[in-house]
Amino acid sequence: MTHRLAAYGAQAAVVSGVLSVVGTVVLLLFFALEAPTVISSGDSNLWTPLGRANDLLVGLSGPAAIPLAALMRERWRGMAPGASAVYGVGLVAMVGMGTFGFLSFANLASLTSLGALGTGALAGFGLWQLFASLRSADPAISGRLRTVGIVSGIGFVLQLVAFLALGASGFADPQVALRQPLFVAIGGIGLLGSYIGYPIWSIWLGRRLLRIAEAT
């Protein structure tokens, strides 16, 4: 593992986390300012600046983490069976997140048609984060950071579970979605776990990795 990869991967973790923080702020603004209009319209595909900006920011946080994933794979080489396979899953998920964010923001495809891509990519990303967090033997991931990563990873996976529980037809109409308590509960927990947990985990991990890189 080169010193350059160590530093670049650590910086990428911080950048990905910052993008996620901004995305969370934009999402809160969307719920406050634009969500009522989307709900009253009964059309989830309605293009809204804040809603689609959130999709773009969350999407970009995925590709931004690719150097981090490469760094973690190198750190686990020879220690964690299946690390390369999990890295592959994470890489596909990160590219999928970026693709979803771009297509949604540019309005090149409806949110209904992009639902499976978006939630599937987030679930793959969550599985990668779960694997990374469960590697407690890595000194960069320990204590509360490990717990935050597990919670966040589960949150990403729950977003796919919520999508599957709702179904594509229900996903198209926000009023139908809100009348299904299972979807609301699972989706709400997933959003809270991932949107709050991931930026904390990513920035915290990035700072730890930076200190390790500077010490070597």
Q: Tokens 């297509």 correspond to what residue?
A: 103
> According to the model, what pLDDT value does residue 78 have?
63
- pLDDT over 60 (residue 185): yes
> According to the model, what pLDDT value does residue 201 have?
97
Alpha-carbon distance values, 179 to 43, 88, 111, 158 (Å): 15, 37, 19, 18
Could you give the count of Cα atoms lying within 13 Å of 102 in the half-sphere of its Cβ?
9
Question: Minimal CA–CA distance to 1: which of 136, 10, 134?
Answer: 10
- From the CA atom positions of the chain, what is the Rg in Å? 17
> According to the model, what pLDDT value does residue 183 have?
82
> According to the model, what pLDDT value does residue 169 have?
65
Tell me what the pLDDT averaged over the chain comes to. 90
Q: Tokens 């949604």 correspond to what residue?
A: 104
User: Please, what's the b/e burial string for 71-89 (b: 16 or more CB within 10 A of its CB; e: otherwise)?
Assistant: bbbebbeeebeebeebbeb
pLDDT digits (tens, 9 = 90+) for 123-165: 999 999 998 888 767 788 888 999 999 999 999 999 999 988 8
> According to the model, what pLDDT value does residue 212 have?
86
Provide the token pair at 126. 């969550």
- pLDDT over 60 (residue 1): no
Question: Global pTM?
Answer: 0.93
pLDDT digits (tens, 9 = 90+) for 24-82: 999 999 999 999 999 898 888 999 999 999 999 999 999 999 999 999 888 877 666 67
- Helix then strand count (H, E) for the chain reads 10, 0
Among the ranges given (83-92, 109-118, 178-187), the one the predictor scored with the smallest mean pLDDT: 178-187
Q: Tokens 């599937």 correspond to what residue?
A: 120
Percent of the chain with pLDDT over 70: 95
